[in-house]
Chains A and B, each alone.
Chain A
Amino acid sequence: MSVTVMEEQGPSISEEAIPVWNGKLTIRAKVAGAGSALIYFHPANGLHWDPFLSHLAQTHTVYAIEFPGTSSGDPYAIHLIDNLADMVLVYEELVRSLGLTRPVLVGQSFGGMLAAELAAAYPNIASKVVLLSPLGLWREDLPVARWLEAGPQDMPALLFHDPSSAAAESMLALPEDPDIAAAAIAAQTWATGVTAKFCWPIPDRGLRARLHRFSAPTLVVWGREDSLNPVGYSDEWGRELRDVQVAVIDGCGHIAQVEKLHETIALVDAFLAGT
């Protein structure tokens, strides 16, 4: 099928701050588009609005949620929530606070794990779920890469099948201004540390035992050459979920939505358009 990718221009993005947890925690979201609601759960290093999200905003109202502690100017919010079960409660409250009825959940990597935890805890919360190389399962013969101890020189090869591709280089590029670059490095580093609180040292918090609770139709997308979270896990998700489609993209690493944008969009669009 043909796919229209959002032009450079991108949609108009607004920001929302949603108080939760008895007013102690403020969750920030970037919101764009129109149509039925879609919640996006970002990966471990924080939220970066990308062409994939712009595309989703053509057909949905996208709520891209910033994980607590990763929002600019509010790094210590992470210290308010100490365990994953409470974090799932925070996100459930967030869905209610936003007044959303059965939104689509889309999560990438760590965000995929979080979306899956929410959908497993609250089987009726989502209409559909899209998981892009989600963390959350562990097999000893398929160790997830220890991304927290990967140096900057190692990250491109962990994230991309072809780190020299334009899409990869564009995502990895740092701002030229040294002050802005330092702030960006600090923000991404901190976000990675914040999310690691819920998935380090082994990204397995018992999710496998909860996956049977899923009721929403689910699409699982994987890059065949995923060096961070091996593609073998796509079979595990296929086995554990009842209503699931699993798609593997060739020539693709961990971040399918960046490295193979068109293929990812085609899969997601077809899944979301289906009944």
Chain B
Amino acid sequence: MKITLFEQAPYRFMPDGFEQHYESVNSTPYSLATRDGVYSSIRDFMDELMVAARSGYDGLAMTEHAQSSYDMMANPGIVASALAYMTETEGLDVAIFPMGRSLGKAREPVRVAEEYAMIDVLSGGRLVAGFPIGLHYDASINNGVPPIEIRPRFDENLELILRAWTDREPFAHNGRFAQYPQVNIWPRPLQERVPVWITGIGNPRTMQMCLERNFGFNYLSWFGAKLTGKRIFDRFWEVADQVAVPRNPYRLGFTQTIAVAETDERAEAEYAHHLEYAFRTGLGSIPQQKLAMPGGIDIRGVQALVKDPGDFGLYSEMRTATFRDLVDAGVVICGSPSTVYEQLREYCSEYGIGTLHAMLGFGSLTRDLTMKNIQLFAEEVAPKLRELWADTDYAHHWWPERLGGDPTPVTPGVRATEDTPAQAHAPKTGVAV
């Protein structure tokens, strides 16, 4: 099992009752922020990631949410580049994992390719390149992309970036969304094959693309993994069977919010308030119409979601969710090291998860408590958890070679991302996890 620290960069000092008084965390008036509050929120976030790097985490992960008070992260590449250089100078062998640049949003795809390439160089070949499709509000409101173009823009941008990294000769790109007379970026990534991960929320087409194209697939616990996990992970492995790809757990990433203290009681006492803040003034304060905009979800998907919104789990109640609601739904795992370990081990082994993104800083959690959470998890949970899958023969093909990965393709086929899903399915592989 590989374990990263995943953090967002929330503004940590919202007034009490924010979620009752403000429309969303995507339209938060900047007048609520103070200079010191912004500085410390970002400074602490960076310090916490560096503490994780020094505490033996396998990776440092962050992602992109612009114009948002719950994650002040307009471009994760900027943070990743700072971490890449700092960890390199300190000799810390940790993956730099922006999860990352949203390609359904990006209007300058070559710049994304260039920035990631630079991060790989700065880190000496430790980049893990994440590309989310793109949240609707981020792509369509923050960047003006018509929602119906998010997916085709993602597809075109991804192909262009992969080609920009690998083609030896300069080439012209005549795309639907971008045209370049010459693409010949300097520098290219140090890694011959940069591991690529896509973050999705359950669209089987995205899963299939990941499986067929040798990409890792990330899923997030935030809708409540006890409500949604079985649906999503079963779907993923069923698609894997359909396209005849082995059930290698390392290719499935899972982001889980986690809070560890000495005892269960103390964990609740220390973290409950901050967890409620995190989700009420985070995902809970993103109105549905900003997450699911017309045209961004296929017409068949809309019809299915109207009839069965199960993939969204606890989301509709999150604005008022209590600590107990969050725990019961699996949005968070909170308790003593043994409680947290047992739940994570059970979960990861049941669903075949081999790459865990532990979200140990969240919401209004103070610097000191975040540091404690990171340290306790590193010392008392991660070592045992890391043993999971160690006795299998699977290699981690979605991890940098310098960090022990083997990023060679496990499947030979390369399929254009704009293809419709394959109609003919190979026989099931029967590979057990």
Contacts and interface: CB of A to CB of B under 8 A. Distances in A.
B307 A182 contact: yes
A179 B302 CA distance: 12
A23 interface: no
A148 B294 contact: yes
A189 B148 contact: no
Interface in B289-310: 289-290, 293-300, 302-303, 306-307
Interface string A79-115: 1001000000000000000000000000000000000
B153 to A, nearest CB: 12
B148 A186 contact: no
Contacts of B297: 189
Contact of A193 (B148, B288, B303): B148
B56 interface: no
A149 B295 contact: no
A274 interface: no
Interface in A212-236: none
B290 A149 contact: yes
A168 interface: no
A145 interface: no
A78 B294 CA distance: 14
A197 B295 contact: yes
A93 B137 CA distance: 36
A175 interface: no
* Chain B CB within 10 Å, residue with most, of A75, A185, A187, A196: A196
A179 B306 CA distance: 9
B147 A148 contact: yes
A194 interface: yes
A200 B140 contact: yes
A178 B303 CA distance: 11
A79 B299 CA distance: 13
Given A148-B140, A179-B307, A201-B144, A196 B302 contact: no
B38 interface: no
Given A148-B294, A197-B146, A200-B146, A186 B299 contact: yes
A75 B137 CA distance: 23
Contacts of A151: 287-289
Contacts of B144: 200-202
A82 B176 contact: yes
A196 B147 contact: yes
A72 to B, nearest CB: 10
A58 interface: no
Contacts of A196: 146-148, 294-295
Identify which of B147, B295, B298, B302 gathers the most chain A CB atoms within 10 Å of its CB. B295
Given A179-B307, A201-B141, A187 B299 contact: yes
Interface in A104-156: 146, 148-152, 154
Best-surrounded residue of A146, A191, A200 (most CB of chain B within 10 A): A200
Contact of A182 (B137, B140, B306): B306
B147 A178 contact: no
A183 interface: yes
A190 interface: yes
Given A182-B307, A190-B299, A194-B295, A149 B176 contact: no
A156 to B, nearest CB: 14
Contacts of A61: none
Contacts of A202: 144
Contacts of B300: 186
A196 B293 CA distance: 10
A150 B137 CA distance: 12
Contacts of A179: 307
Contacts of B288: 151
Contacts of A82: 176
Contact of B140 (A189, A192, A201): A201
Contacts of B290: 149
For B137, B176, B297, B303, the residue with the greatest tally of chain A CB atoms inside 10 Å of its CB is: B303
A148 B307 contact: no
B174 to A, nearest CB: 13
B289 A78 contact: no
B88 interface: no
B299 A75 contact: yes
Contacts of A193: 146-148, 293-296
Contacts of A192: 294-295
A154 to B, nearest CB: 8
B149 interface: yes
Given A151-B289, A182-B306, A196-B295, 13 more contacts: A148-B293, A151-B288, A182-B307, A185-B302, A186-B299, A186-B302, A189-B302, A190-B294, A190-B295, A193-B294, A197-B148, A197-B295, A201-B144
14 contacts: A148-B147, A148-B293, A149-B140, A151-B288, A154-B289, A181-B306, A182-B306, A185-B302, A190-B302, A193-B294, A193-B295, A194-B295, A196-B146, A196-B147
Interface of B: 137, 140-141, 144, 146-149, 152, 176, 287-290, 293-300, 302-303, 306-307
7 cross-chain pairs, A with B, having the tightest CB-CB distances, nearest first: A193-B295, A193-B294, A186-B303, A192-B294, A190-B299, A201-B144, A186-B302
